[in-house]
Structure 1
Amino acid sequence: MHGIYLAGESFFEAFSVIKNGKMRKFYLLPGVLNLILLNLLYKLSKYISFNLFSKLEGYFHLNSYENVTFIIIKFIIIIIAFLLYFLVYKALLLIVLSPFLNYISERTERTMVNQKFDFSFKDNMRFIWRGIVISCKSFSKEMLGTIILLLLGLMPFLSITVPFFIFLLQAYYIGFSFMDYTLERHNYSSKESLIFLKKNWTFSAFSGAIFTMVFLIPVIGIFIAPLVSCVAVTLGTIKIINKDKI
């Protein structure tokens, strides 16, 4: 429960930190990149979705089902397809935004503790590279977990719960991607970061869930979610690190 409370508190606090740290101008860049990626993936997903549903419809003879059953099956397919596309889209977005988010995380901590970090160019490149690697690894694990959940979803009594667990899985790794910018800066190894993640999984999952919900707000969500989430998760992660030192 503490992790959930900390995530919520950090997101509320993030807006004042963005204001005090003069970071409002950084809302624009993620939004522009989001629009470009969203447009490309929308065209691709639209083509794939219709073809996939047509094949499933023909293979399982969905038209022979009763209307209510047909609607439920179609709804489940649409939700699962959306979650899969969001998984790919989110992974690409976090990879592209990695240099930007790493800078925002550092600037957030600088604003929070009033401390300047003297990292060399080589250090910053290492941070950026690790962020990209973490995003790629998280995507691989999410995809594997999603496939397993989809296979479990073939069981009738489990199918209705699959979208929720896919959402939770994605939220967990989204939170971790944001957390690791701070952990790397505090010299956590990849192994230590994973231990930190498992210990604070509720904070990670709830932070990722808030990011997703904010991100899905029409129009403004794609502009504010990356910046606010990065700042919020940085704040929460720093608090956890400082608490562990006591």
Structure 2
Amino acid sequence: MTFFQGLQLGFNSYSKAINFIKKHKLGCFFIFPLLLNIILFSLGYASTVSLSTKCFVYLTDWVNMDSWDFWGSNFISSVLFVFMNIVIRLLFVIIFAYIGGYIVIMLLSPVFAYLSETVEKIITGNEFPFDFKQFLKDIWRGIRLATRNFLIEMMFTILFLIIGFIPIVGLFSSLALFAISSYFYGFSFIDFSLERKKADIKESIAFVKTHKGLAIGTGSVFGIVLMIPYIGVLLSGFISIISIVASTIATTESINHEKTINLN
């Protein structure tokens, strides 16, 4: 399978995934990202309020704000508190928007493992007896791989941010960064299917390296959603459910296609 064939298969799998979810009544899985959003929003809100308050207290002590007694000092104090609140929340949104994709993948790994298994069972008819010990191993593997992919992507990000300052060449850095992030997102999604086929992490890496188009195609939609300002991370959890179904369908088709070619 060529790079562009894999890319097209990855893209096309999303429309198949949506129909697949509808047909086989898998919409119940969307409850998990909804719950995750509620938890993350609650924790994020509480954390930013606490952090902004602590920062304001530190600033108050640093500039001895309590001793201010000139006209308008209370107004200035209130403005500084509001400004600090806004800055900290914006920083939280920016940082979370960048690393939020991997946080979603790590936290929803148990759901992804079970959903991918369910999809393949429907497609192929293969039975996968539930093994709690193996299930925990699958979750741990998904977290490890997502962490690995995130660290490697960070290195590439730093590299391309530096390249971005080079005239002309820098114009392509944003596109390259998007392709890289899509590749690693797709890698994380595809691995849930490969793990069930008893592929170790090295074999999974080798498979994805030879199916770069497939990885970018299955990870790109998730990456595009993450780029939506403010609400991208909130939506990404729901899109990740579709991405897992799409990647499972695409990976199964890709493997079956290659088996057919090898037989001929």
TM-score normalised by structure 2 residue count: 0.71
Q: Report how many residues are paired.
A: 211
Residues 1-246 of structure 1: pairs in structure 2 closer than 5 A: 1-34=4-37, 36-37=39-40, 40=44, 85-214=96-225, 221-222=235-236, 224-246=238-260
Q: Please tell me whether the aligned partners of residues 181 and 223 of structure 2 are also in contact (alpha carbons under 8 angstroms).
A: no
Alpha-carbon offset, residue 214 of structure 1: 4.2
Q: Please tell me whether the aligned partners of residues 17 and 112 of structure 1 are also in contact (alpha carbons under 8 angstroms).
A: no
CA distance in 2: counterparts of 1:190 and 1:222, whole angstroms: 25
Alpha-carbon offset, residue 188 of structure 1: 0.9
Q: Please tell me whether the aligned partners of residues 30 and 223 of structure 1 are also in contact (alpha carbons under 8 angstroms).
A: yes
Give the gaps of 5 or more residues in structure 1: 48-80
Alpha-carbon offset, residue 18 of structure 1: 1.1
Alpha-carbon offset, residue 38 of structure 1: 6.0
Cα 1:120/1:230, change in 2 over 3 Å: same
Alpha-carbon offset, residue 3 of structure 1: 0.8
RMSD: 2.7
Alpha-carbon offset, residue 108 of structure 1: 0.8
CA distance in 2: counterparts of 1:214 and 1:131, whole angstroms: 21
Cα 1:19/1:136, change in 2 over 3 Å: same
Question: Where does structure 1 differ by over 6 angstroms across 4 or more consecutive aligned residues?
Answer: none
34-43 vs 87-96, which moves further = 34-43
Give the gaps of 5 or more residues in structure 2: 53-92
Cα 1:18/1:85, change in 2 over 3 Å: same
Q: Which protein is bigger by CA-based radius of gyration?
A: 2
TM-score normalised by structure 1 residue count: 0.76
Specify the code of the residue in structure 2 equivalent to 1:205: I
195-204 vs 157-166, which moves further = 157-166
Specify the code of the residue in structure 1 equivalent to 2:6: G
Q: Give deviations 1:68-124, integer Å, cap 9, x for gaps.
A: xxxxxxxxxxxxx95x75331111111111111111111111121233211411111
